[in-house]
Amino acid sequence: MFKRILAAIDGSEQSMNAADVAISLASKYGSELTVLHVVVPFTFNDERNHPGTGLEEEYRRRIQEQTGKWFEGIKRKAGENNVKVKTEWTETSGPVQYEITRYADEQKMELIVIGSKGRPGIERLYLGSVASAVLMYASCPVLVVR
């Protein structure tokens, strides 16, 4: 049914549930599974955060470490279900939802699986503005998971 599935994660409980559902679907349909984490770059909004202070490098190191842990757990679960999974993270200076839909289009994904609400932040309200926007702008079906 779905040959290429994209699961978008941010580490929230709902996004990790979405990854589990994506693994189940990939196992059932013999699909290719890609798990994507979109990172918003470190911003210099304070004089203490100027380049050269080491804060940007520390931010990147922590993001990579955290994302690596999420990906390892997902790879383990995928392996237990005989699913091959590609993990990827990308940075965007624009809205996360646009990067998810752009990636899905570029990679010719046939289904996006996303959590209903992400990590706390300015853009997470009600259904979650990221999930809501992905539903509106994606050119393929979207499955929203609680």
DSSP secondary structure code for residue 123 in this structure: T
What long-range pairs does 123-129 form, CB within 8 A, spacing at least 24?
123/95, 123/96, 128/14, 129/97
> What is the pLDDT tens value at each position of the chain, 146 positions in all?
899 999 999 999 999 999 999 999 999 999 999 999 999 876 655 555 555 667 778 888 999 999 999 999 999 999 999 999 999 999 998 999 999 999 999 999 999 999 997 655 544 434 568 999 999 999 999 999 98
In order of start, what are the domains of the chain with their CATH numbers?
4-145 (3.40.50.620)
- Among 104, 105, 141, smallest CA distance to 2 is for 141
The answer to whether 137 and 98 are in contact (CB under 8 A) is: yes
State phi, psi for 20 to the nearest 5 degrees: -60, -45
